[in-house]
Amino acid sequence: MKRKKFINITVIILVVFLFSFCSSAPKNIRQAPDSLEVSGAETIGEPSPPDVQSQETASESKEKEENSDDPARIMEDALDTYQEALVAWEKADADQALASLDESYNLILQLKPSPDSELNYEKSNLRLLIAQRIQEIYASHVNSTGENHRFIQLVENKYVMAEIESFQTRERRYFEESFRRSGRYREMMKQQLRNAGLPEELSWIPLIESGFKIRAYSNARALGLWQFISSTGYRFGLKKDRWIDERMDPEKATQAAVQYLKELHSFFGDWTTALASYNCGEFRVQRLIRGQRVNYLDNFWDLYVMLPRETARFVPRYMATLLIVSNPEKYGFKLDKPELPIQYELVSVDRPIQLSVLSQKLGLDEGELADLNPELRHKSTPDRLYQLKVPKSKGEQAIALLSDLPRWIPPEATYAIHYVRSGETVSQIARRYRTSVSSIAKMNGLRRNFLIRPGQRLKVPSRGVSTPEEPAPMKQASIEPPSGAQSYTVISGDTLYTIAQKFGMRLQMLIKINRLRSRSRIYPGQTIWVLPNSSS
């Protein structure tokens, strides 16, 4: 009995020992695989380790798992991948660039920051950048295949058909006259567009913007064939001074428009969005795109309902124009032949002369020279060297006449600037400045019953009336300066308060010694009296 019991115990111990050995052997093999290798032969015992990943400790695996969910780490990876796409695009590897952009977008899809995290803004910005680059790559691919005439996908949806119907009916005369005038300038425009590598069809934009009228002026104060506002014109090199406004020069304005359109297309990557931006500004369209909750390949018709009405109509009107001019008969038009391009010669003029006087000497119609040189604001040449356009074959005659023409002295500015206050009307402003309603309306291009709005800047024909915007100079001789006073010349940005602070004066003292009122306005160049350190 005792012997049998002893055997059973021995068996149990043996089983436990074997189980322990079998359990520990794989672990030992994985920890020291080199000891089981025979030179040049396969590993003896357990198979070789599957990969390096299996060597990670539990803590390392946990750390990696935590990093993969870190929003900041994901954003960093997405930005790195976006940069890789830019490098590939610079090397003209479009396929790799698109693959990297797609990978970057997939990364930001995984990004789920908290609502108050700054990463939300970064995510939105990166999404927009990815959209722009993808559209730019696809647009470039279309251009590189020689299909510039298909730069925009023309559609005949309800918005485009509504504009076609408008051109067929109430705007028919406008369309036909604009088409006829287009012949004066389109050859020049197409040449500039070709030189810049842009589609020639962009030369139809002025039909929508200005009807191909060189002096067209909008309620938004945009001017010329391409309807530039002053700030945008200045940004693209269009000069404006007392004598000229280059927004009205067809060739210079076209050159600026080409630069602007090229920049917009590079920014947005597709022509429909670029055209909408041309009409209302790139920053406004960019804000709308950023606010979309759609896929990263944004579509213009997704934006359409959110755009200002005029801008929303601009792209369908442009599409309608291209459809009509490409096939007039289909849409019920029989368009006249466009006018011939303008031909001219250049003549150097070094002093102010009136165009009407030269026209009369040359036997031209009174407005012919003015139409050739629309950038001249006073229909006279400036007081510097100027290249004047004259009709073809009239150059030599004009040069011979110039020496006998009198020098023209332009009148001084005869208007004041008035900022409209709430409740004011044009008739009230006219009475204040002792002028007529029609004069104010004509000078400012007012329409629709002379409607004005608070804050609007008006030019008002003036008869020497001093206004708050242009105060009369102070008569310093009539002011007896107090003892110890010093004179001070006002500079731009000064106010009575800042001057008082600068010289350590009380504001009321400054007002008193200069016989001013608390609401008196000062202007650069004005001389006033100050008493330094008189605040005590």
φ/ψ of residue 373, rounded to 5: -125, 60
Of 153, 151, 152, 97, which Cα lies nearest the Cα of 129?
A: 97
Helices and strands: H and E segment counts in the chain: 22, 6
Place of tokens 């442009």: 318
CB 273 within 8 A of CB 303: yes
Residue 346 three-state SS: strand
Burial class (CB in 10 A: 0-12, 13-18, 19+), 533: exposed
Which of 242, 177, 239, 252 is closest to 213 using CA atoms? 177
Tokens of 446: 């007012």
**Strand partners of residue 460:** 416
46 is annotated as an active-site residue? no
User: Which residue has 């001789």 as its token pair?
Assistant: 477
Query: H or E element: which one contains 229?
Result: none
Cα–Cα separations (whole angstroms), residue 327 to 322, 331, 480? 9, 7, 80
Among residues 209, 282, 396, 412, the one annotated as catalytic is 209
What is the rounded CA–CA span in Å between residue 131 and residue 144?
A: 20
Give the chain's end-to-end CA distance (angstroms, integer): 121
Residue 488 pairs with which residues in a beta bridge? Answer: 528
**For the chain, what is the radius of gyration of the CA atoms?**
38
Which candidate, 257, 271, 255, places its Cα nearest to that of 140?
A: 271
Residue 405 CA to residue 349 CA, distance in Å, equals: 11
- Hey, which residues are catalytic here? 209
